[in-house]
């Protein structure tokens, strides 16, 4: 059941062509820094087929696990209180500056504690008992192929996400991965990974062959 959602990711593998900096499925508007896609019908078809087997009325009852892998101060203010009163170069307001300000060792120590407690099996079991059949997990591209300042700081993140997927399978819940944050920021906000600048369209050519985000979890989890 839950693996059917990974078909969405597989269906748009190789969506970035590094040589051309273009997308096979997304039309990029450099001027307005937006993109459009014609994948809606294909994606919805996969979703509908999957969720028809997880609820009696063929509906999606889902929750968003925000603030877990992509930090947002308004969601998890306790992680950011420590930066109050700090200097400009010591303040964090997103995942990028969190790792930058604390460094890999301290950042990773705090994040592992956060990952371990923010989402647990008991949390998901309680959701499932209330009829929730779907989980949306926002992730950043650095989980798949870390780059500075995430190297070291996000060590172990994938293992925690793997746990969530295993728990979801046990509880008969589907999982939808949301590539919420890209290198260079997708929207210039904290949930885009970095709040300073908006340059995701100019970093498409940085994606290395074989390390494409959309291909990662189908191969990792479903062994495709």
* pLDDT tens track for 100-143: 999 999 999 999 999 999 999 999 999 999 999 999 999 988 88
Q: CA neighbours within 13 Å on the CB side: how many for 163?
A: 15
Residue 169 has a pLDDT of 92
How much of the chain exceeds pLDDT 90, in percent?
39
What single string gives the DSSP state of each residue in 7-59? HHHHHTTT-EETTTTEESSEEEETTTTEEEES-HHHHHHHHHHHHTTTSTTS-
Matching residue, tokens 């008969």: 172
Look at residues 156, 140, 61 and name the one whose alpha carbon lies nearest to residue 104.
156
Contacting residues for 146 by C-beta, under 8 A, at least 6 apart: 152, 154
What is d(CA 206, CA 186) in angstroms, rounded to the nearest whole number? 15
- Residue 9 — pLDDT band, cuts 50, 70, 90? very low
Residue 183 buriedness (CB in 10 A; 0-12 / 13-18 / 19+) = buried
Residue 163: its H or E element: helix 157-170
What is d(CA 141, CA 12) in angstroms, rounded to the nearest whole number? 16
């Amino acid at each position: 059941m839950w693996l059917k959602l990974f078909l969405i990711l597989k269906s748009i593998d190789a969506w970035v062509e590094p040589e051309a900096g273009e997308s096979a499925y997304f039309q990029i508007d450099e001027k307005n820094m937006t993109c459009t896609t014609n994948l809606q019908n294909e994606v919805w078809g996969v979703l509908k087929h999957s969720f028809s087997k997880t609820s009696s009325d063929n509906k999606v009852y889902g929750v968003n696990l925000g603030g877990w892998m992509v930090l947002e101060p308004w969601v998890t203010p306790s992680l950011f209180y420590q930066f109050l009163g700090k200097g400009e170069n010591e303040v964090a307001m997103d995942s990028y500056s969190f790792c930058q300000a604390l460094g890999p060792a301290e950042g990773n120590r705090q994040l592992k504690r956060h990952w371990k407690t923010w989402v647990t099996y008991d949390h998901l079991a309680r959701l499932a008992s209330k009829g929730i059949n779907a989980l949306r997990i926002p992730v950043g591209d650095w989980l798949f192929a870390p780059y500075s300042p995430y190297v070291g700081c996000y060590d172990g993140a994938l293992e925690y996400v793997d746990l969530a997927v295993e728990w979801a399978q046990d509880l008969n819940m589907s999982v939808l991965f949301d590539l919420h944050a890209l290198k260079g920021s997708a929207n210039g906000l904290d949930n885009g990974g970095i709040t300073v600048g908006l340059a995701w369209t100019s970093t498409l050519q940085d994606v290395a062959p074989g390390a494409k985000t959309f291909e990662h979890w189908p191969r990792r989890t479903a062994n495709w």
